[in-house]
Structures are given as structure tokens and as C-alpha cells.
Amino acid sequence: MSYTTKLIQGLILGLVLALSAAGQVKPGQPFPALAGHALEGTLPDFAGQVVLVDFWATWCAPCKASFPAYTELQREFAPRGFILLAVSVDKTAGPYEEFLQRFKPAFSTVRDSAQKLISEVRVPAMPTSYLLDRHGIVRSVHSGYHGESTVKALREEIARLLEEKS
């Protein structure tokens, strides 16, 4: 393969990656309104709350590992104004319902079977979590779940956001 061919392939790959990342929701940006995305399930009232929106799938091993830890985060911080919303990207209801029966999360879950919200947010990996301040602005993004290091970072970030004045 010639140098020119490799250079062109590299430029094309760079352009594709840049275009796919360009639309991703990033810290400092408002998170999209959840209404109008055909989400299946009941959305909690987020007004004035610190919110963690976690995108997950039943086939995702790190997602399975995250649910018990996220249940603890919800229980720990809910009395102070924190809500966790888990958005499943599963297209069919069966695996989603079985997963919820097995893990019994203490937080709200909805299903994005039409893939509208995940497409708008441009979620880079499963799982990915978006931590929003009380005004719906993304303050941090956690791609993947890395056990205790993810939980520790989230715990610190949530506590800091809960302490901020509205």
C-alpha cells in the first residue's frame, strides 16, 4: 500500500471519527429533553434535581455490574435531591423486563426501543452515564463502568453538585 493511500485512509478515518463525535452531548451542554423520544416507562420529575442518566443494555456485562452500585448511589443521595434514570437501549421488552426482575433497581428505568434518545445523545459506549446539575446541564460523562473507581468518582461529583446553590 502506498504512502498516499495510507494518508488518504487516515484522513477519511479521522473525518469519520470527528463527525461521529461532533454531535455527542458533552459537559457544559444541556442534556436533551426526554419528552418526545418515545421512551417506554414513567419518567420521574427532574425539576431542581441532580440527575444521573445511565444508558445501558441487558447484553452489556459492565451494565450488569453497575446496577447494584447505582442502587446504592440512589439510596444514599435521593434524600438530598438526586435521581438516577437508567435508559435501556434494548429493542425488545422481554430481556429488559427479565433484567429488571433479576436486579430490582431502586431507581427509575425506561426503555428507548426506538433508539431516538441514544441517537440524539450519540452515546459512545455501553454503559455511559451523564451527570446533570439541577439545571439539566451535563457536568460529567462516564463512558463504561469500571467498578469502584467509577462509583468513587460519581459519589464525589454527585455530592459536589448537591452542595451547589441552585
Digit-coded pLDDT (tens) for 45-80: 999 999 999 999 999 999 999 999 999 999 999 999
- Ramachandran angles phi, psi of 143, nearest 5°: -90, 120
pLDDT surpassing 60 at residue 18: no
Share of the chain above pLDDT 70, in %: 86
Confidence band for 165, pLDDT divided at 50, 70 and 90 = confident
State residue 24's pLDDT score. 84
- Ramachandran angles phi, psi of 132, nearest 5°: -110, 140
All structural domains of the chain: 26-163 (3.40.30.10)
Confidence band for 36, pLDDT divided at 50, 70 and 90 = confident
pLDDT surpassing 80 at residue 138: yes
pLDDT surpassing 70 at residue 6: no
Q: Is the dihedral of CA 41, 47, 49, 55 positive or negative?
A: positive
pTM given for the model: 0.84
**CA atoms of 146 and 9, how far apart (whole Å):** 33
